Structures are given as C-alpha cells and as structure tokens.
Amino acid sequence: QVQLVESGGGLVQAGDSLRLSCAASGRAFSSYAMGWFRQAPGKEREFVAAISGNGGTTYYANSVKGRFTISRDNAKNTVYLQMNSLKPEDTAVYYCAASRALIGYRNPNLYTSWGQGTQVTVSS
C-alpha cells in the first residue's frame, strides 16, 4: 500500500483557484489509479476526479467538469487537483485515495489507501 498526504487547501473567494497536492510514499506509485473525493459537513463522501496509473485516462464528476483538472507526476509520486472558478458549493474536506484499478473509480469503497484530507473553504 501507499501512504498519502494531501496539502494545498485553504480559504479562498468564489472564482479563485487552488491546487491540491497529494504526495505518496511507498512502492510502485505508477501502478495505482488515484482519485480525489470530497466530503462536506453532513454529506456523504463524493467522487471528484480520478486518473489512471500512467495519467492517460481521467474522469470527473459532472459538478467539476471543465473547472477541475487532475494530473500526476509519477517521478515525484504526486497527484494534483487544479481547481479553478471555485464556488461556495465546492467547500469540503478533500481526500486523495489510491486504488489498484480504475474500474469502479466512483466508488470510495474500492480505494485501499486514503490521505488525512485537506480543508477547502470557498466564501461567496
């Protein structure tokens, strides 16, 4: 398994941008599909974006498509989430997660490693 640490969260205004990073330790990072999820207070954890091990395939939730971009640098064992045009409804704790396969990428139960989360707050 890999250990994951997120960073880059913060308090921003609507329309601003943030880039989240998720650093992985452990072996064979490129063999893992990676996902970003978020959880707002009182709500279930929801899928945001996912990327294949080689970075060639990406998926997004409809709510973030066109505003968020997931990418990865396997040489740095890091996955990113570039968030543009942020909205107050994007406010949540954001988690990165690792899975051995991209199949079922929307299902958090299929991810085997999780970071501790980073808070993103978007004010109106």
Q: How does residue 26 score in pLDDT terms, banded at 50, 70 and 90? A: confident
- Which pLDDT score, from 0 to 100, does residue 120 have? 98
Give the Cα separation of 26 and 104 in Å (integer).
Answer: 23
C-alpha Rg value of the chain to the nearest Å: 13
Q: Share the mean pLDDT of the chain.
A: 96
DSSP state of 26: S
Determine the Cα–Cα distance for residues 35 and 53; give it in Å rounded to an integer: 11
Residue 1 pLDDT level (bands cut at 50, 70, 90): confident
pLDDT tens, position by position, 59-101: 999 999 999 999 999 999 999 999 999 999 999 999 999 999 8
Residue 119 and residue 93 in contact, taking contact as beta carbons nearer than 8 Å = yes
Q: Please state whether beta strands 46-51 and 113-114 pair in parallel, antiparallel, or not at all (unpaired).
A: unpaired
How far is it, in rounded angstroms, from Cα 71 to Cα 94?
15
**Confidence tier at 27 by pLDDT (50, 70, 90):** confident
pLDDT band at 102 (very low <50, low <70, confident <90, very high): confident
